[in-house]
Structure 1
């Protein structure tokens, strides 16, 4: 049986990913990698990173959930979102295999459930169970794979609704699911999201807490996520936070699912935070 490793946000740092995989293979063979999203952007080799993870996935060695930067790439590529000043996506957009890569990216899940571990990029609402999270993620995945995916991308952005209701429908429902799974950091006890604060736990707005510290329905499994570099590496029985700021000059981190072994690579700073 393969040894599963969870790996944090890559953000176009292909050299560090290759070094991390090499380091893992020195201590473990027959490995399977699950990436916590944000494969691309801000780092220097987004195209190489996307190609590498795609090859790993197509050869049965890896899978990745979608992060907000991966969705941003799809939106920019389809002309429904302007590129940001610090984006490093041009190499992908001009690549000869651009269409194949973007098609592959659209097929990726937003959540993965494996051996009582729920993997997603950012967070979940307090009321969501693991089973419900996978089902709601599938609603978005189905839309991304459909011929109407560009219409979905055009309506994906916005901060409302900021709370979950089972009665939500249409674009509001899909947007709310995407925002939780790819953007959430802080929320209230009843699940209202905050999108303004990007600092660590001590920066929680009044009345808000980290999404994983509220009373939630997913305490029966281990939540694995990235997205929050100012939180950094955090390992608890029910939680693995993986984004250790690779692109900011921090580390690229892998954590073994079986024994919580931590393997890391030091990373050069590609961009300055903020």
Structure 2
């Protein structure tokens, strides 16, 4: 059995199929770990989600910010963004099943018997991996609960951006969603910044990539993440693996085979 990690698919289904064929992925014995943002800016979001659902237990998914926004849009908490291609999903005959499947996906997956974790955006510098997993599980429980709509309505907002200031259940929930699905840069004290999406070299000096501030990644903990296309797979911390390589923006999809760290690449088709 081989375990493959992939970053933001973003509805690039044709490229996904070609990439899996290139790697000789076998759904009967291999696992595909998807670091969130399965949908949105590409034109084949419905095909992507249906395929991942069809993989059953061979697919290990974490939710990204676009996946959560799709859930919020379905529940009429937000309007569809013009640049998103979600109409096919929202009008699909199986949309209810798709939304239930999405809501039941976690925010963090841990590789069995290894200190290897996957979330969409990374690991907050203010958290240990144990705290991150605990908070992710709490948020996951709320999102899949009968009170899903109420909690999804509370995830929007940028405060608190510091874990030490998250006192109420709502504040802890919002911080958890933001840290695990929206984070890129942090301030020196570890608090989250939501404005800068640049490369680390072109960012303001007072901002640092989350993976340069995390002490946890120096303690044999490895983290798989997507979300940050500007990195194009380049990460200064050897224990962090950046897998969003901007396929939907004209870049490519990257697939990482875990046991030998071999990468497979599929460029965006014209």
Q: Normalised by the size of structure 1, how large is the TM-score?
A: 0.93
Shift of 1:122: 0.4
Is the partner of 1:158 in helix, strand or coil? coil
Shift of 1:35: 0.4
C-alpha contact 2:15 2:269 (8 A) present in aligned 1: no
Superposed CA deviations along residues 108-130 of structure 1, whole A, max 9, x for unmatched, are: 01001112211000022213111
Residue in 2 that maps onto 1:272? none
C-alpha contact 1:125 1:216 (8 A) present in aligned 2: no
Is the partner of 2:118 in helix, strand or coil? strand
C-alpha contact 1:121 1:227 (8 A) present in aligned 2: yes
Superposed CA deviations along residues 171-216 of structure 1, whole A, max 9, x for unmatched, are: 1110001000000000023211111111111232332100000142
Is the partner of 1:25 in helix, strand or coil? coil
**CA–CA distance in structure 1, aligned partners of residues 91 and 68 of structure 2:** 18
C-alpha contact 2:27 2:58 (8 A) present in aligned 1: no
Bigger mean CA offset, 157-166 vs 255-264: 157-166
**CA–CA distance in structure 1, aligned partners of residues 149 and 88 of structure 2:** 21
**CA–CA distance in structure 2, aligned partners of residues 166 and 218 of structure 1:** 23
Q: Normalised by the size of structure 2, how large is the TM-score?
A: 0.94
**CA–CA distance in structure 2, aligned partners of residues 29 and 254 of structure 1:** 18
Mapping 1:114-133, distance limit 5 Å: 114=111, 115-133=114-132
The answer to whether residue 95 in structure 2 is matched with residue 94 in structure 1 is: no
**CA–CA distance in structure 2, aligned partners of residues 215 and 222 of structure 1:** 11
**CA–CA distance in structure 1, aligned partners of residues 27 and 120 of structure 2:** 25
Bigger mean CA offset, 94-103 vs 200-209: 200-209
Structure 1 segments unaligned to the other structure (5+ residues): 270-274
Shift of 1:144: 0.6
Is the partner of 2:216 in helix, strand or coil? coil
The answer to whether residue 33 in structure 2 is matched with residue 14 in structure 1 is: no
Shift of 1:237: 3.3
Superposed CA deviations along residues 12-34 of structure 1, whole A, max 9, x for unmatched, are: 11111111111111799932110
Residue in 2 that maps onto 1:202? 201
Is the partner of 1:156 in helix, strand or coil? coil
Residue in 2 that maps onto 1:162? 161
**CA–CA distance in structure 1, aligned partners of residues 86 and 150 of structure 2:** 21
Query: How many positions carry a matched residue from both structures?
Result: 266
Using a 3 Å threshold, how does the CA distance of structure 1 residues 71 and 26 change in structure 2: closer, same or farther?
Answer: closer
Bigger mean CA offset, 197-206 vs 18-27: 18-27
The answer to whether residue 72 in structure 2 is matched with residue 71 in structure 1 is: no
The answer to whether residue 113 in structure 2 is matched with residue 112 in structure 1 is: no
Is the partner of 1:44 in helix, strand or coil? coil
C-alpha contact 1:128 1:218 (8 A) present in aligned 2: no
Shift of 1:75: 0.4
Bigger mean CA offset, 171-180 vs 161-170: 161-170
Residue in 1 that maps onto 2:234? 234
C-alpha contact 1:247 1:268 (8 A) present in aligned 2: no
**CA–CA distance in structure 2, aligned partners of residues 167 and 197 of structure 1:** 22
**CA–CA distance in structure 2, aligned partners of residues 241 and 167 of structure 1:** 28
Task: Report the RMSD for the aligned CA atoms in angstroms.
Answer: 1.8
Using a 3 Å threshold, how does the CA distance of structure 1 residues 267 and 222 change in structure 2: closer, same or farther?
Answer: same
C-alpha contact 2:4 2:257 (8 A) present in aligned 1: yes
